Amino acid sequence: MSKVTVVGAGAWGTALAIQAVRAGHSVTLVARTAEAVAAIARNHENGRLPGVRLPDSVTVMDQLPDASDLLVWVVPTQHLRTSLLKLRPPAGGIVICAKGVEVGTHMLPLEVAGDVTGDRPLAVLSGPNFAHEIAAGLPAATVVASVNADLREQVRVAFGTSTFRLYGNDDPIGAQLGGAAKNVIAIAAGVVIGAGLGENARAALVTRGLSELCRLAVALGGRAEAMTGLSGLGDLMLTCTGMSSRNFSLGHALGQGRSLEAILAGRTAVTEGVATAAALVARAGKVELPICQAVAEFLSGRKTLDQSISELMSRPQRDE
């Protein structure tokens, strides 16, 4: 049994804490505020993952415990930096679970972690994993990517059970780009369905979105194979097909004509693709990402839906 500390008591952090208990570990869940700690203690449940009882063995606190064997950071990308600066993790490996690109710096999550905490073993956990299904113990698989093989193994032991399989690889850039870009493509897929453009259009969009992921990974030092694995295609399949995805459902509402402001005002959970779209396009530089770019322009209000669709459909036709 090892001491696993999960930082970030959102839906995913809570599900991962439950999964680490299932895997036989002693688990601490770190929430952002004392109020959040008290609410979880009172209800034996986290409002961000309603209907799921948190095991009594999970210690909930608003700071890091004195000792951890493994730190798992499950804070949204745009808050990753401030949370690391605030909690100042001690030396040792960290697993980052955010899926996005930081606004302003255009850094990927592991780059942000390295920037704040210095040289240390880092890993990314990313794959097709809706929090409520993992919390319920339904069968699923994911990717742990790190250049540090010992850390990969530690993460496998921390979370692996008969219902949750972890596949390792040494391409953290590919895994992070897959997780970030699929959120943007999922918004586009939601728009397509919400606007009534049809299943053909979605299939074409997701497939061409996968091409964007592959191009981007190779250009930024990752591998195209990562994009056809769980953290690329796997997560695209999950988040581009159903309303359980916050990114897809946001796109769906946009496609039905609702405003971005009204949609965001009605939700407290993070929808990573919104801030990530423009940051990802900026990070890509000269790499062609027409769908991600169209999402960024549409979200910013620079283009209407009709303009975006017409531009995507009138691009020069070429070999696949």
Ligand X SMILES: NC(=O)C1=CN([C@@H]2O[C@H](COP(=O)(O)OP(=O)(O)OC[C@H]3O[C@@H](n4cnc5c(N)ncnc54)[C@H](O)[C@@H]3O)[C@@H](O)[C@H]2O)C=CC1
Active site residues per annotation: 182
Of residues 76, 89, 128, 229, which one binds ligand 13P by CB under 6 A?
A: 128
Closest distance to ligand X from the beta carbon of 57 (Å): 20
> Alpha-carbon torsion 294, 300, 302, 303, what sign?
positive
Long-range pairs of 253-260 with CB within 8 A, sequence gap ≥ 24: 253/190, 253/194, 254/187, 254/190, 254/191, 254/194, 254/298, 254/305, 255/190, 255/191, 255/192, 255/193, 255/194, 255/195, 255/196, 255/197, 255/305, 256/194, 256/195, 260/299, 260/301
Beta pairing partners, 81: none
Single-letter amino acid code for the residue at 43:
N
Give the C-alpha separation, 254 to 191, whole Å: 6
Stretch that binds ligand X, among 94-102, 112-120, 184-192, 202-210 (CB under 6 A): 94-102
Q: Residue 28 is inside which H or E element, if any?
A: strand 26-30
* Residue closer to ligand 13P, measured from CB, 93 or 179: 179
Crossing angle between the packed helical segments 172-194 and 109-117, to the nearest 10 degrees: 130
Residue 238 interaction partner, one of ligand 13P, ligand X, none, beta carbon < 5-8 Å per kind? ligand 13P
Q: Which residues define the annotated binding site?
A: 8-13, 32, 99, 127, 131, 182, 235, 245-247, 270, 272
Cβ(210)–Cβ(233) below 8 Å: yes
Give the C-alpha separation, 251 to 183, whole Å: 10
Closest distance to ligand 13P from the beta carbon of 238 (Å): 5
Can residue 9 be called a binding residue for ligand X (CB under 6 A)?
yes
Question: Where do we find the tokens 């009594």?
Answer: 56
Of residues 239, 276, 293, 308, which one binds ligand 13P by CB under 6 A?
A: 239
Task: Print the binding letters for residues 52-91 with ligand X: x by CB under 6 A, - otherwise.
Answer: ----------------------xxxx-x--xx--------
Can residue 232 be called a binding residue for ligand X (CB under 6 A)?
no
Stretch that binds ligand 13P, among 63-71, 108-116, 200-208, 232-240 (CB under 6 A): 232-240
Cβ(194)–Cβ(207) below 8 Å: no
Stretch that binds ligand X, among 19-27, 112-120, 161-169, 265-273 (CB under 6 A): 265-273
Number of residues this chain uses to bind ligand 13P (CB under 6 A): 13
Q: Which residues bind ligand 13P (CB under 6 A)?
A: 99, 128-130, 183, 186, 235, 238-239, 245-247, 272
Q: Which residues bind ligand X (CB under 6 A)?
A: 8-13, 32, 48, 74-77, 79, 82-83, 97-100, 129-131, 269-270, 272
